[in-house]
Amino acid sequence: MLTGSAGFIGSHVGETLEAAGHRVIRLDLRDGADVRDAGVLDRLLPGVELVMHQAAKVGLGVEVADLPDYASVNVYGTAVLLAAMARHTIRRLVLASSMVVYGEGAYTCAEHGSVRPGPRAVADLDRGRFEPRCPRCGAMVRCAVIGEDAPPDPRNAYATSKLAQEHLAANWARETGAGAVALRYHNVYGPRMPRDTPYAGVAAVFRSELAAGRAPQVFEDGGQLRDFVHVRDVARANLAALRARPPAGTLAAYNIASGTPHTVGQLAYALAGARDGPAPEVTGGYRLGDVRHILASPDRATGELGFHAAIGFEEGMKEFAWS
């Protein structure tokens, strides 16, 4: 069973699963099937061997008033699903998680070695001081690659809800002897990405601005490092996770990323170039809850799942710009 099957990522996952010969039972709120409805789940789950849980409220959140929706859809919805899976003795789960559970990425201080900076101060952001500093001495730090064993540090409502999903899945796995896989997606982009919504990712926002003939508005100085991974690669990662057999009673987490970081400014220029649109404008603005840099290591997913991204940045952005 695939939850969130009509969504951006879920629709690609469903196609990839069916192309590989799997029978997919779909559940999506757009089709009137709510993952929070135990009755719906009890009708759909008999005979299901594995659940791929993609359904979620996404984005960083726009205001505090969004908190109940994130808790309801992402946290409560996952709890209802896991309880139903336990009733129907389903013992395999693939969970769509996110890089946002890490918060700020990993850094290295010349004096103190590996460090994890806390949230950036508003006063620094207002002055255009965007780079994090060592939490121990205040010195400048260098960005480093983050692995799955890094302590989580969610910085916004969405991140908190995704980490809660992982914890609930781990609880379910331990108590039922099941096996769960959490795929921590990095910045996913590609065809069918939502347009013109305040909860959209940065790639979709830039594409919408260009489609309207406007220059992409780049926050901070454009130097924020991210790992942009194509949605078809993410779908292939889900197929690989379906074949995984984590030890009973455990949740195994994997970074799903390209392994090749780019800045947000490079993203804006790649999309503007592909559409022959106006050059991006660096605004110096910022959003509280955003992190500065986060670089992923996909080595565990490669070694244990056999996953590696196949679609390069330039190729993917040329397609996405007009999708």
The tens digit of pLDDT for each residue in 181-199 reads: 999 999 999 999 988 766 5
| Residue 218 exposed, middle or buried by CB count within 10 Å (0-12, 13-18, 19+) | buried
Structure token digits, residue 204:
């979709």
Q: Could you report the per-residue pLDDT of 51-75, keeping only the tens digit for each?
A: 999 999 987 666 788 899 999 999 9
Neighbour count for residue 57 (Cβ, 10 Å): 18
pLDDT, one tens digit per residue, over 249-283 is 999 999 999 999 999 999 999 999 999 999 999 99
Taking the model in full, what pTM does it have? 0.95
Sign of the C-alpha dihedral computed for residues 156, 160, 163 and 169 taken in this order: negative
Residue 125 has pLDDT above 60, yes or no: yes
Give the pLDDT confidence score for residue 64 in this predicted structure: 86
Q: Which DSSP letter does residue 278 get?
A: P
Q: What is the pLDDT of residue 24?
A: 98
Rounded Cα–Cα distance for residues 130 and 223 (Å): 9
What pLDDT was estimated at residue 293? 95
Does residue 95 carry a pLDDT above 60? yes
Q: Stretch 85-95: mean pLDDT, rounded?
A: 98
Q: Is the pLDDT of residue 147 over 70?
A: yes
Rounded to whole angstroms, how far apart are CA atoms 268 and 142?
23
Using DSSP's 3-state secondary structure scheme, residue 188 falls into strand
